[in-house]
């Protein structure tokens, strides 16, 4: 499979020049190993899912690391967290050395605890999500951005089934004592039907026959393994009473379509879920632009108790906001800009950029819709966020 250039390459290179260790997190099969081995071909590669390797680590972790040529890539480090203390000791013996250790893992929460406890100030932490539209034009609201799905689209359904099975058996079991994985799998399908909606844990608990705390635990698993993103409401009041609950989006729209049983793009266009899937696609692309540039996530939505709602509010600089509406259509109409116009009129003290994003061809940002609000396409996002 040909290598695809990733936006995170330069932040990774900079981190390797400034830190002794770099930790790369993100969901399974997003391309972490491929990226690290491409950028640092001279590094010794160790897969910590190999039973023989893990057995050697458990038997004598100190000797294992001391005999390891550096720089080294320790892949799936969550399978051998005891190595973090020995990596820290190695760094402390030669604090001036940079770029010695590259660690990757699919589970952010356990890794972050280990880094916080063992490697504070010694490791840069970066996140890699599936491919973005800017990285690969094949990324779409139907296929999503997982590299293997894009490389072999005819086998997408099988790959998503295999991905879910691996995810359930490895990541979910590793993070939680969940025994009834089929029930958790049904929860994923239920959650896909709530994609793009305000999160209501009680509404999710009832059809599953479980408690609200259990739903909260399951959502946390999905969030820390980068399967979903919870978008909070924008915190500024603007003189209005605001909704306080977050909106829920799946990170990969292709996975959402699979969970919903949508197997053709034509079926997605006709589906009642089309609007929510496209909105999730836009949310995912915003988050990818931010984290792949090495920045923190900053994405919000706006909704007040009078029913005014704007899909996305994104800070793009001091006192600067980008307001976005996402529409799963190729025909953008002036009335689609009304929520943006109403919110813009209420915002004081900010410089605003307001766009309705549709499935229009690139360059649609030249189309003025109403009152300084313009139309655009998903391909325009990178320039709008800059």
292: nearest Cα among 78, 99, 24: 24
Give the length of the chain. 386
* Same domain? 268 vs 317: no
| Any domain includes 232 | yes
d(CA 216, CA 185): 15
Answer for the pair 271, 141: CB distance below 8 angstroms, yes or no: no
pLDDT score recorded for residue 6: 97
| Any domain includes 169 | yes
* Same domain? 224 vs 277: yes
pLDDT score recorded for residue 238: 65
Phi-psi category of residue 144: left, alpha or beta, with phi > 0 → left and psi -120 to 50 → alpha: left
pLDDT score recorded for residue 192: 97
Answer for the pair 344, 328: CB distance below 8 angstroms, yes or no: no
* Same domain? 173 vs 235: yes
* Same domain? 168 vs 65: no
Pairing of strands 101-105, 72-75: parallel
* Same domain? 211 vs 180: yes
d(CA 119, CA 20): 10
| Any domain includes 142 | no
| Any domain includes 133 | no
| Any domain includes 296 | no
What lies within 8 Å, CB to CB, of 69 at 6+ separation is 44
* Same domain? 43 vs 118: yes
pLDDT score recorded for residue 119: 77
Sheet holding 21-25, edge to edge: 44-47, 72-75, 101-105, 21-25, 123-127
d(CA 298, CA 182): 34
Which residues of the chain fall short of a pLDDT of 50?
A: 362-365
Q: Which of 224, 256, 291 is the last residue of a domain?
A: 291
Answer for the pair 51, 23: CB distance below 8 angstroms, yes or no: no
* Same domain? 95 vs 216: no
Q: Which structural domain range is residue 331 located in?
A: 308-385
| Any domain includes 140 | no
pLDDT score recorded for residue 363: 42
* Same domain? 219 vs 340: no
Question: How does pLDDT run across 225-257, given as a tens digit for each residue?
Answer: 899 999 999 977 665 656 789 999 999 999 999
Q: Which pTM was predicted?
A: 0.93
Domain count along the chain: 3
Q: Which of 67, 94, 127 is the last residue of a domain?
A: 127
* Same domain? 77 vs 210: no
* Same domain? 153 vs 281: yes
* Same domain? 48 vs 157: no
d(CA 323, CA 310): 7
pLDDT score recorded for residue 150: 95
Q: Which of 291, 324, 340 is the last residue of a domain?
A: 291
The Cβ-side half-sphere exposure at 334, using a 13 Å CA radius, reads 5
pLDDT score recorded for residue 346: 86
| Any domain includes 330 | yes
| Any domain includes 21 | yes
């Amino acid at each position: 499979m040909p290598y695809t250039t990733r936006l995170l390459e330069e932040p990774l290179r900079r981190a390797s020049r400034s830190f002794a260790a770099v930790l790369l997190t993100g969901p399974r099969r997003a391309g972490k190993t491929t990226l690290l081995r491409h950028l640092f071909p001279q590094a010794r590669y160790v897969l910590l899912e190999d039973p023989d390797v893990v057995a050697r680590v458990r038997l004598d972790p100190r000797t294992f690391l001391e005999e390891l040529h550096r720089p080294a890539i320790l892949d799936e480090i969550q399978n051998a967290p005891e190595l973090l203390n020995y990596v820290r000791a190695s760094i402390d013996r030669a604090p001036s050395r940079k770029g010695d250790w590259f660690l990757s893992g699919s589970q952010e929460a356990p890794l972050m605890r280990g880094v916080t406890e063992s490697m504070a100030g010694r490791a840069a932490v970066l996140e890699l999500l599936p491919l973005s539209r800017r990285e690969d034009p094949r990324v779409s609201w139907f296929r999503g951005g997982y590299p293997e799905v894009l490389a072999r689209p005819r086998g997408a359904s099988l790959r998503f089934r295999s991905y879910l099975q691996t995810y359930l058996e490895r990541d979910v079991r590793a993070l939680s004592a969940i025994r009834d994985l089929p029930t958790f799998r049904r929860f994923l399908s239920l959650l896909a039907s709530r994609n793009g909606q305000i999160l209501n844990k009680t509404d999710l608990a009832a059809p599953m026959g479980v408690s609200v705390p259990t739903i909260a635990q399951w959502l946390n698993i999905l969030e820390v393994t980068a399967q979903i993103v919870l978008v909070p409401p924008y915190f500024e009041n603007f003189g209005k009473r605001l909704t306080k609950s977050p909106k829920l989006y799946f990170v990969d729209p292709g996975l959402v379509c699979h969970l919903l049983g949508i197997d053709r793009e034509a079926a997605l266009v006709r589906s009642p879920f089309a609007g929510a899937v496209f909105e999730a696609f836009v949310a995912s692309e915003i988050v990818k632009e931010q984290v792949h540039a090495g920045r923190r996530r900053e994405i919000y939505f706006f909704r007040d108790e009078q029913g005014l709602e704007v899909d996305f509010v994104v800070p793009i600089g001091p006192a600067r906001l980008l307001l976005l509406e996402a529409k799963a259509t190729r025909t953008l109409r002036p009335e689609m800009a009304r929520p943006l116009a109403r919110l813009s009129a209420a915002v004081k003290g900010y410089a605003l950029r307001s766009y309705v994003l549709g499935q229009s061809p690139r360059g649609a940002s030249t189309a003025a819709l109403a009152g300084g609000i313009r139309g655009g396409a998903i391909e325009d996002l990178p320039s709008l966020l800059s």
